[in-house]
Amino acid sequence: MKKIDTILSGALLTCGALAHAAAPLPGLAAKASELAALPDGGWLSVDKQGLHLLDAAGKERARLKLRAKHLDLRPQGNGAVAVVMDANAEQVVPVLVDFQAGALTARKPFPAPPFGIETACLYRDAQQIDHLFVVGKDGQAEQWLMDGEQRLLVRKLALPPHTKHCRADDAARQLLINEDKVGLWAYNAEAEGVPERKLLKRGAESERKGEVVVRPWPAPAAGGGMTTASGAGATAGRG
């Protein structure tokens, strides 16, 4: 049985916790390298064939064919906005997820950064605008604003080299960085904030090979969270 690590949601990453699930994953979810649990019981999964939208039984409803890595998502309308890295193009691609229609729609990608991407993650600010953090192997990083089709570079950052994971805690307005063999760092995630950091936990472990990274459905930030809309095609415009 494959072990599952549930890591990098805001609360779990803040306390450095790892939760292990004993139950086997259903269907195609069992073959995933990364998973995101959805509120309808389904999954977003990443494997060598692309990004998949799965139902609760692990059956495929939709697929985007790309060599995907670094899955993250936020609630949006009757679905979600997700991001994955296209490893061939070295670009991060936003994807609209429609639960009811069972559809995945790729949107305008972010420009390729001037460095190799090691990890990427989403952050939703107090105005409910989504940002993307892109982190390079040498510690170079960029923060981008994403509003509709707009992609705006808002700042560049210097982060620890060899960073394997990043995650944003929307409620705390923090970018959480796992520096291998050092610990878990919290940075100010606000684009206009002071780039200060603090060490939350020493000796945070990097991801172990052969284990699936599972992203829980993001907990709502203050004043935010998942919204619902009635009527056909009622989805938020952002993303």
Inside any domain, residue 237: no
Query: Which are the contacts of 30, defined by CB distance < 8 A and separation ≥ 6?
Result: 2, 24, 58
Q: What is the mean pLDDT of residues 178-193?
A: 85
CA torsion 13→59→81→201, rounded to 10°?
10
- CB-side neighbour CA atoms (13 Å) of 105: 12
pLDDT at 95: 96
Inside any domain, residue 224: no
Inside any domain, residue 26: yes
Domain count along the chain: 1
Inside any domain, residue 198: yes
**Rounded mean pLDDT of the chain?**
77
Inside any domain, residue 226: no
- Give the domain extent around 49: 4-211
Inside any domain, residue 230: no
Would the pTM of this model clear 0.95, i.e. be above it?
A: no
15 pLDDT higher than 70: no
pLDDT at 238: 32
Inside any domain, residue 217: no
Inside any domain, residue 231: no
8 pLDDT higher than 50: no
Angle at 140 between CA 221 and CA 65, to 5 degrees: 70
126-135, 199-208, 211-220 — most confident range: 126-135
pLDDT at 97: 95
pLDDT at 219: 52
CATH number of the domain within which 33 lies: 2.120.10.30
Token match 């060899």: residue?
Answer: 162
pLDDT at 48: 83
User: pLDDT digits over 120-140, tens only?
Assistant: 999 999 999 999 999 998 999
Sheet of 68-76: strands edge to edge? Answer: 68-76, 79-86, 91-98, 103-106
Q: Where are the alpha helices (DSSP H) in the chain?
A: 10-14
